[in-house]
Structure 1
Amino acid sequence: MNEIVFLVEDAEGGLVARVLGHSIHTDADSYDELRKQARDAVRCHFDASEHPATIRLHYVKDEVLAA
């Protein structure tokens, strides 16, 4: 596996992230903390030989505007 993608979304009081295609998820209060948590989650989930070369954080912001 070359790359793993976290879908990052705003949550009440912070951020949540989940990996597409795997049961890996984490949360954090800040984006900097989320980076650390994502790396840690991937290290815990995969053996060293299966560890992806790249971790991508895809931040999705759903914004609703009043007309």
Structure 2
Amino acid sequence: MTEIIFLVEDDPDGGYVARAIGESIFTQAESIKELEALVRDAVQCHYPDQQRCSNMIRLVL
């Protein structure tokens, strides 16, 4: 698996939204710390057979 880059933006309703570039993966959270955990979870759900997906994730703020 190659690196997955997430673009992080402020959510107009509060918190943050993260969208993967080139993939149909996205999530939202109230804090950056929570967003990091939810992004890892979303990637694991999108690629359930891959191990150590968190090493391949980069958030761009």
Counting helix residues as a fraction of each chain, which structure ranks higher? 2
Aligned length: 58
5+ residue gaps, structure 2: none
Preserved contact between residue 19 and residue 25 of structure 1 (Cα < 8 Å):
yes
Preserved contact between residue 2 and residue 52 of structure 1 (Cα < 8 Å):
no
Preserved contact between residue 40 and residue 54 of structure 2 (Cα < 8 Å):
no
Q: CA deviation at 1:35?
A: 0.4
Counting strand residues as a fraction of each chain, which structure ranks higher? 1
Structure 2 partner of 1:6: 6
Structure 1 partner of 2:42: 41
Structure number with bigger Rg:
1
Normalised by the size of structure 2, how large is the TM-score? 0.84
The Cα RMSD (Å) is: 1.5
The CA deviation string for residues 1-58 of structure 1, in whole angstroms up to 9 with x for no partner, is: 2310000000121000000011000000000000000000000001226x47420000
Runs of 4+, deviation exceeding 4 Å: none
5+ residue gaps, structure 1: 60-67
Preserved contact between residue 2 and residue 53 of structure 1 (Cα < 8 Å):
no
* Identity over aligned pairs, percent: 53
